[in-house]
Structure 1
Amino acid sequence: MSEYILRTNKLSKKYRNDFALENINVTIKKGEIYGFIGQNGAGKSTMLRIVTGLTFPTTGSIELFENDNPKELIDVQKRMGAIIEQPALFSNMTAYENLEVHRLQKGIPGSVCINKTLELVGLTDTGKKKAKNFSLGMKQRLGLGIALLSDPEFLILDEPTNGLDPMGIVELRELIKKLNREKGLTVLISSHILSELHQLATSFGIIHKGKLLEELTAKELDEKCRQHLRIKVDQPTKGATILENQLSTTEFEVMQDGTIKLYHYLDDVRTVSRVLTNNGLVIEHLSQNGDSLESYFSKLVGGVEHD
């Protein structure tokens, strides 16, 4: 199995004079849950539609399972499952019947996969209940079941929690985690709510007005948002030594510009200030910093409010 499930190379999509996507370079590794975050209209759905073959790029290319041959992409796209926008359900059919129709459309042999899929998404007890009488959460799970019917290696979900109540969001999140953990399923999931994806994704791509602003791991995101004391002294190396020897902490980083990020003593700034000053250092700046996930996202996109 290839290390990379998806890579895009300067992917652009232009409608008349406007770019929906502009020179997007996304990298998703096998086994990741990749959170694609951006405001409504940022280009998330356009990107997902290109990856799933529902539309084509104006320029640039995509690589799926290390295959970038346009003629062969159709075949490798069969190894994916997707929900783009709303799940396509037959409202007068049961969950079983909906899956049966999609099984026949996809040419999947045998019906064993239907009961397995119903069990996987928690819909085994729906019986003769029609899809039109399902709750929104049940409809989303049935849509997910359709996407999972062919046992894909790569799952793509476009804003899957839209309209769900808090319990429905939790249930869907735990199901995706389970699929990733137990089946090794790689997932690309888009949302405009960073706090929601933060509880699920292992890596992130942040898009704004069609441009990819940043890719980072969940660990890197946590570090950027972690509360800390920002310290600027005239002798950073000496300052770091003092923190380690006299305050008995190694929970700090010295940044390239000489700023020290101290993750301890957040509630005891006076002690930090006193120890540094008593050792002959000049404190040029000392403040408590750290973003919430929402404020970090807002700063990154230029402070524009969410749609």
Structure 2
Amino acid sequence: MNAIDIRGLTKRYGKTFAVDHLNMRVVSGDIYGFVGKNGAGKSTTMKMIAGLTTPTSGELALFNSVSAGQGRAGSFSAAPSRIGALIEEPGVMPNFSAGENLMMKALAMGVVRPRKQVVELLQLVGLEAAGSRKVKKFSQGMKQRLGLALALVGSPDLLLLDEPFNGMDPETTRDLRRALVRLNQERGVTIVISSHVLDQLMRVCTRFGVIAAGRMVREFTDEELHATCGSSVRVRTADPARALAILEERLAGATFRMEPDQAIVVSGGARSAAASFGGASTDPAASGAPSVEDVSRILHEADQVVLELSVLERDIEDYFVELMDGGASAAPGPSPVDRR
């Protein structure tokens, strides 16, 4: 089931399109990284998902229940109680303590055993020692953590987090990242994270969507990202068809792609390509892809004439930047042959 299914969603302010016919799909159980430049439309999209802003047009379905369409606010049905959101600034009452902020929301939502949930949430976000302190004395990072705890009141099935790592030191960021993974894996919470901190998203997300100028450029899984950016071997021979058949037979589990100039690109299977943020793996063998030596030896033993042999790498950060700029050259085009 899809937690979020968006089709043609649009939000217009006067003549300006903040979100322009956006399509987006978040599968239940995803940790979805929502990536884009400032002003790309991320926060506006998340506000429409949370029911805080009415779309101009389009359709937005949450848990298979249509909640907006054709420029009017629809009925969320049971969806609001299933959504927790931290969008832009945490909505806290500064003259009350962290525990009191959480208790007030828990009581307003009719949470069963609210005190127990407040204690659990303070522990989850690492504020158990500061639960009795007034929020106005909190640092920005502490307010962010309290905002996350408030979003989790009522045990939502879908969590929307807009730049959740803002103002946090490295240790707190690591703890928050681990808490999000636990929520996803142990409680099955679907999480959408909008962030500019790409290396943090790379550590937790199972699926990504890149938005530019209000439109979705591309959606892809973590496995697809690593397959695209992982190290691979490019070889061109005098007999491409024969060379491809030989490599497919000898390198079981590898992925093969024939390029327009008849060169063969050999990479590791799906997730085995260990591309990393800031650069792909320099050693294809370490990433699960066959090494240059493997490919050369196999073709030499089969008496194939090798005209070109090289290692291909693609930097993940550069790939995201290309997509955020519109993605014209970032997404790989169709190939005549694409086999496994």
For the aligned pair, the TM-score class normalised by the smaller chain equals 0.7 to 0.9
**After TM superposition, where is structure 1 displaced by more than 6 Å over at least 4 residues in a row?**
none
Tell me if 1:119 matches 2:123.
yes
Q: How do 1:9-88 and structure 2 match up within 5 A?
A: 9-70=7-68, 71-73=74-76, 75-88=78-91
Q: TM-score, normalised by structure 2?
A: 0.79
Q: Distance in 2 between matches of 1:302 and 1:213?
A: 9
Compute the displacement of 1:187 (Å): 0.6
Range 18-27 or range 59-68, more displaced: 18-27
**What are the Cα deviations for residues 40-67 of structure 1, in whole angstroms up to 9, with x where unaligned?**
1111101001101111111101001111
Q: Is the 8 A contact 1:51 1:62 kept in 2?
A: yes
- What is the aligned partner in structure 2 of residue 171 from structure 1? 175
Unpaired segments ≥5 residues, structure 2: 69-73, 269-282, 286-290, 328-340
- What is the aligned partner in structure 2 of residue 230 from structure 1? 234
Name the CA shift for 1:261/1:144 in 2 (closer, same or farther; >3 Å). same
Q: Is the 8 A contact 2:157 2:189 kept in 1?
A: yes
Q: Which has the higher contact order (CA 8 A, sep 6+)?
A: 1
Compute the displacement of 1:93 (Å): 1.8
Q: Among 303, 307, 318, which residue is 1:295 paired with?
A: 318
Letter of the 1:215 partner, please give it: E
Name the CA shift for 1:127/1:63 in 2 (closer, same or farther; >3 Å). closer
Name the CA shift for 1:266/1:152 in 2 (closer, same or farther; >3 Å). closer
Tell me if 1:99 matches 2:102.
yes
Name the CA shift for 1:266/1:223 in 2 (closer, same or farther; >3 Å). closer
Q: Distance in 1 between matches of 2:236 and 2:326?
A: 26
Q: Distance in 2 between matches of 1:26 and 1:41?
A: 18
Letter of the 2:305 partner, please give it: L
Q: Among 245, 257, 262, which residue is 1:255 paired with?
A: 257
Tell me if 1:133 matches 2:142.
no
Q: How do 1:144-163 and structure 2 match up within 5 A?
A: 144-163=148-167
Range 265-274 or range 231-240, more displaced: 265-274
Q: Is the 8 A contact 1:252 1:260 kept in 2?
A: no
Q: TM-score, normalised by structure 1?
A: 0.87
Name the CA shift for 1:107/1:271 in 2 (closer, same or farther; >3 Å). closer
Q: How do 1:203-282 and structure 2 match up within 5 A?
A: 203-243=207-247, 249-250=251-252, 252-257=254-259, 258-263=262-267, 266=284, 269=292, 272=295, 276=299, 279-281=303-305
**Number of residues of Structure 1 aligned to a counterpart in Structure 2:** 299
Give identity over the alignment, percent: 37
**What are the Cα deviations for residues 148-189 of structure 1, in whole angstroms up to 9, with x where unaligned?**
111111110001012222112111110100111111111111
- SS for the counterpart of 2:218 is strand
Letter of the 1:90 partner, please give it: M
Unpaired segments ≥5 residues, structure 1: none
Q: Distance in 1 between matches of 2:62 and 2:158?
A: 10
- What is the aligned partner in structure 2 of residue 5 from structure 1? 3
**What are the Cα deviations for residues 246-304 of structure 1, in whole angstroms up to 9, with x where unaligned?**
xx544642225454223488587477457647824353x54322212101112333489
Over the aligned positions, Cα root-mean-square deviation in angstroms equals 2.6
Letter of the 2:147 partner, please give it: G
